[in-house]
Amino acid sequence: MTASAPSGARYGVTSMVAPLRRVLVRRPATSGDWEGAGKAYRTLLEENQGCLACQYRLIEIDRWLENTPDSTRARSLLEGILSFRQQWRGLVAASLEPPGQRVEQLAALTTNYSSWHLGWAAYGSELFNRGSFFGRRRSEAIEALNSQRALDAGFVPAWTDRTLALIANGDSAAADTAIRRLRSLPPTVGLAQAQRLLAAIAFAFRFTSHGLQTWDSASHDPSVRAGLPKVAAGPRVLAGLGSPLGSTAGTITCIPVTVIWESRRCKLSSDG
């Protein structure tokens, strides 16, 4: 679908606001289920091929799940970008940029639309996941995610990044509150559940003496073992969150590659 399609892609964007709101807020935000959200957006796209907002969300979801980028989808967004409202144009354009340029565009977006929580969520997530590659401090991610939280505390997709950033920054009191909040959510599946697992384990290793016990308990849960491959798509590993290397040695083997959240691979060690 391109901008030259019938009635314009503008109709596709604006006409899908209500169902998109339901998918974005109710499904991913109540459980953080990225896989489920992806299926829902694909269904919406089948029903309305002019839904460029669906195309954008699917690009974001595919990035999180490490799916192969869809160049056709990106091209459609570029061709139809004027169909979005002004603040969304900035968010969509940033999503199509390489990481270094993306974080700068998102910074500008939060300056221009400081009361828009989705801009802060995207900026905070980008800072947390890749900001360190471009000289940005972890505390900047926390500040951005705190701004998002002040505007919309119920936006669950931002909760995990904020929790992990607090753990990595060594803020035990705030991290404890954030972990408790994550635990209050209903269980979910896939990447979202794997990220929550990592957060709980990282917190235990960094701030308590029960890290190994926490890992051992989680790793013997059949449902956790079934979801462990999804941990590889997650952006964080224990050492990167400030866990002592000695405490994780022999428990989790992590092989860092170029990009921290797109290329980390973790697995149970053979003697773990």
Give dist(CA 24, CA 2) in Å, integer.
23
Report whether 131 contacts 118 (CB < 8 A): no
pLDDT band at 73, cuts 50/70/90?
Answer: confident
Q: Is residue 61 part of a domain?
A: yes
Question: Would 228 be classed as within a structural domain?
Answer: no
Residue 110 has pLDDT above 50, yes or no: yes
| H or E element that contains 37 | helix 34-47
Residue 85 lies in a domain: yes
- Whether residue 223 is contained in a domain is answered as no
Q: Tally the domains of the chain.
A: 1
The answer to whether position 197 is within a domain reads no
Q: Domain for residue 38, yes or no?
A: yes
pLDDT interval class at 263 (50, 70, 90):
very low
Q: How far apart are CA 62 and CA 66, in angstroms?
A: 6
CA-CA distances (angstroms) from residue 18 to 12, 23, 25? 12, 9, 11
Q: At residue 152, does pLDDT exceed 80?
A: yes
The highest-confidence range among 7-16, 79-88, 116-125, by mean pLDDT, is: 116-125
Predicted confidence band of residue 225 (pLDDT cuts 50, 70, 90)? low
Query: Is residue 19 domain-resident?
Result: yes
The answer as to whether 231 is a domain residue is no
Q: Which of 23, 2, 21 is nearest to 12 (CA)?
A: 2
- Write out the residue range of the structural domain in which residue 66 sits: 1-96
Strands 265-268 and 252-255, bridge-based pairing: antiparallel
pTM of the full structure: 0.73
Q: Tell me the β-bridge partners of 267.
A: 253
Between 222 and 206, where is the model more confident? 206
